[in-house]
Amino acid sequence: MGLAPPVNTGNHPRHRLDELIHAPVRLSIISALAAADRADFRFLRELVDVSDSLLSKHMTLLEDAGYVKVIKGYHGKRPRTWLTLTDTGRTAFDAYLATLQEIVGTTARQPPPHVP
């Protein structure tokens, strides 16, 4: 007899993790912007180590969700794109952090496996 699939009761805190944030690239973007007032697109690209197009794709998702605000400007004749976390984004990230801490705390509190 095989193992039964895990039953999703929906009670575990992991079900409350914001799916938009809980993805490696977007988590890096959001956590970078949470630590900054604003960050340049190039800085984020280097920090997250992704291509322009992939970063743009994720930025669009976050912008559409209202988590991130894109500010376009110029430095001399050179176009610059600044990114900043909105209040909605910061609230969502704070909630994500709280859920994450809850999960990590739950994991830490679990008793060690029984060794016969």
Partner 1 sequence: MSAEQNSSMTPQDAAAQIDNTGHQVRRRARWQGWLFLAVAVADFGFYIAIGSASQAVSRALIPLPILLVVAIFLVASRQLVVGRDAGPINKPVVAAGLAASIAGLVLYQTVMPQGFTGWLVLLAAFMVTPFLAGAWAWLRP
Give the binding site for partner 1 (CB under 8 A). 14-15, 17, 19, 22-24, 27-28, 31-32, 34-40, 42-43, 47, 75, 97, 100-101, 103-104, 107
Task: State the nearest-atom distance from the C-beta of 27 to partner 1, in Å.
Answer: 6
Q: Report, in Å, the least distance between residue 85 CB and partner 1.
A: 9
Which DSSP string do the residues of 87-98 spell out, in sequence order?
HHHHHHHHHHHH
* Bridge partners for 70 per DSSP: 83
On whether the CB atoms of residues 103 and 13 are closer than 8 A, the answer is yes
113 versus 116: smaller Cβ distance to partner 1: 113
CA distance linking residue 116 with residue 104, whole number of Å: 26
CB closer to partner 1, 33 vs 116: 33
Q: How far apart are CA 78 and CA 21, in angstroms?
A: 31
- Rounded to whole angstroms, the Cα distance separating 53 from 106 reads 38
CA separation for the pair 102, 94 (Å, rounded): 12
| Cβ-based nearer residue to partner 1, 42 or 51 | 42
Closest separation in Å from C-beta 112 to partner 1: 16
Q: Judged by CB, which is closer to partner 1: 103, or 113?
A: 103
Cβ 116 to partner 1 shortest distance, Å: 27
